[in-house]
Amino acid sequence: MAAARRSPRLKDVAEAAGVHISTASRALNERTAALLNPQTLERVRETADGLGYRVNGMARALKTRRSLSIGMVVPDITNPFFPPTVRGAEDVLDRAGYSLLLSSTDNDLGKARRQVAAMLESQVDGLLLAMALRDDPLVNELRSGNAPLVLVNRTIDRGGVSAVVPDDFHGALEAAEHLYSLGHRRLAFVGGPLATSNGARRRASFDQTVARLGLKEVAALEAVAFDEDAGYATAQDLLTRHPRVTGVVAGNDLLAIGIIAAAAERGIACPQDISVVGFNDMLLAGRLQPPLTTIRIPQYDVGARAAELLMSLVDDPDRNPETVLISGELVIRGSTAAPRAAD
């Protein structure tokens, strides 16, 4: 068994096939293959296969200034929202011939900066950013840079950057109305950080909807993160200060779980004593105890649309920024019910 030798390069293929290196290059490139004599073409390709030739993408990228890779930055791939989103992006990019460079930032600006820098150094052709704050220094730096950019799931206030985001406004509205229509009159909101677009928009929508329904809002609290622990902690606060609340709109499903857990700990059962609506309809939301009533956001589509938008931006960098709103729909399950008669 021969030792693994250095992999063959284009020159080796050319010599083995008895043609010039540029001819070999043309033969191995879809776009230029047509220029060649069919027999030469065939011969070069066979030789390449025989040698196990594989083009060196770095050399090609250096020359063509296209790496055929895209960088995607998420807060945490471990948050159930992101795997389907990443998968959607991946599928679209794959079909377009692009690879995906992925990293998690834990909402740490320094880390995000370093990771984006590394992506830019590796010459990604575009960036999918899912960690934006409403006023995000990193996004601001990047928007004036050369790499096409699409924001995912969250966007910035000032606009001017392409983004694919859920319809936060309509979603939170539906959630509040659902509780209202079940008979709930004492509603609260436990949302994510107001520094994020979806934290702020869902909150604003809740406030407006409650006012429009003629209710007096019990409370609207801001959890420090979109996760279970933050939901739990914030709900402790809520339930201590407003024990009579019967319906809660949560900023997302993870927060909802934390809220339900905090309630349960105080003997407040969901949905008997309190109804909670989540947001996203993450994986397994319907199999939880209780099954979550939630606003379903097609997470795969969010990623896929973002990747499509990015691809069109890569093809035409002068294209105007565009924001795509992905609509959600209410999915009624077991975490909401009519309030007790006594209420």
Partner DNA sequence: TTGAAAGCGCTAACAT
Partner DNA sequence: ATGTTAGCGCTTTCAA
Binding interface with a copy of itself (CB under 8 A): 1, 4, 7, 54-59, 61-62, 67-69, 76-78, 80, 82-84, 86-87, 90, 94, 99-104, 115, 117-123, 144-146, 257, 283-284, 287-291
Q: Kindly indicate which of the ranges 8-16, 134-142, 216-224, 229-237 contains the residues binding DNA, using the contact rule CB under 7 A.
A: 8-16
Note whether 25 binds DNA by CB under 7 A: yes
Q: Single out the residue of 198, 184, 267, 262 nearest to residue 226, CA to CA.
A: 198
By CB atoms closer than 10 A (0-12, 13-18, 19+), residue 320 is exposed
| Options 15, 40, 215, 273; binder of DNA; rule CB under 7 A | 40
Q: Kindly indicate which of the ranges 24-32, 137-145, 185-193, 252-260 contains the residues binding DNA, using the contact rule CB under 7 A.
A: 24-32
Task: Tell me which residues in 57-76 interact with DNA (CB under 7 A).
Answer: 59-60, 62-65
| Options 9, 143, 170, 185; binder of DNA; rule CB under 7 A | 9
Minimum gap (Å) between residue 18 Cβ and DNA: 7
Asked if residues 161 and 149 have their Cβ atoms less than 8 Å apart, the reply is: yes
Nearer to DNA, 35 or 269 (CB): 35
Q: Is 8 left (phi over 0), alpha (psi -120 to 50) or beta?
A: beta
Q: Single out the residue of 270, 274, 267, 262 nearest to residue 290, CA to CA.
A: 270
Q: Hey, what are 159's tokens?
A: 């606009």
Q: Which does residue 99 touch among a copy of itself, DNA, none (CB within 5 to 8 A, set by kind)?
A: a copy of itself
Q: Which residues have C-beta within 8 Å of that of residue 293, sequence separation ≥ 6?
A: 178, 275, 276, 277, 278, 330, 331, 332, 333, 334, 335, 336
Local structure of residue 188 (DSSP, 8 states)? E
Q: Single out the residue of 168, 103, 160 nearest to residue 135, CA to CA.
A: 160
Nearer to DNA, 26 or 178 (CB): 26
Note whether 29 binds DNA by CB under 7 A: yes
Q: Is 65 helix (H, G, I), strand (E, B) or coil?
A: coil
Q: Is 109 helix (H, G, I), strand (E, B) or coil?
A: helix
Nearer to DNA, 58 or 109 (CB): 58
Residues near DNA (CB under 7 A):
6, 9-11, 19-23, 25-26, 28-29, 31-32, 35-37, 39-41, 53, 55-56, 59-60, 62-65
